[in-house]
Amino acid sequence: MIEKLSWRETFAASLLLLIGIGYAVFQIMNILSSKADGFKADESSFTFSRGEVVSDLKTYSTIFFALLGSFLLFRQKRWGWVIGLPVLLLFTFLSGFGVFLFVYGAEYDARLILLLIVFIALLLAFVFLLIPSARRKYKVGKYTYLPTLVFLMAICAMYFFLQ
Residue ranges making up the domain that contains 55: 7-23+49-160
Asked, for residue 35, whether it belongs to a domain, the answer is no
Predicted pLDDT of residue 36: 58
> How far apart (Å, rounded) are the C-alpha atoms in residues 12 and 58?
22
Q: How far apart are CA 143 and CA 160, in angstroms?
A: 27
> Would 95 be classed as within a structural domain?
yes
Spatial neighbors of 68 by CB under 8 A, at least 6 apart, are 80, 83
Q: Is residue 128 part of a domain?
A: yes
H or E segment to which residue 148 belongs: helix 145-160
Q: Residue-wise pLDDT tens for the chain (163 aa)?
A: 567 889 999 999 999 999 999 999 998 888 888 665 666 666 777 677 777 778 888 889 999 999 999 999 999 999 999 999 999 999 999 999 999 998 888 878 888 899 999 999 999 999 999 999 999 999 999 999 999 999 999 999 998 887 6
In a domain, 43, yes or no: no
- Number of domains making up the chain: 1
pLDDT confidence of residue 41: 64
Residues 6+ apart with CB under 8 A from 27: 56, 59, 60, 63
Instruction: Specify the 3-state DSSP secondary structure of 144.
Output: coil
Contact 15, 84 (CB under 8 A): no
Is 44 part of any domain?
A: no
The pair phi, psi for residue 161, each rounded to 5°, is -110, -20
In a domain, 116, yes or no: yes
Asked whether residue 151 is domain-assigned, the answer is: yes
- Residue 76 domain-assigned? yes
Residue 106: phi and psi, rounded to 5, are 55, 40
Rounded to the nearest 10 degrees, what angle do helices 145-160 and 78-104 cross at?
40
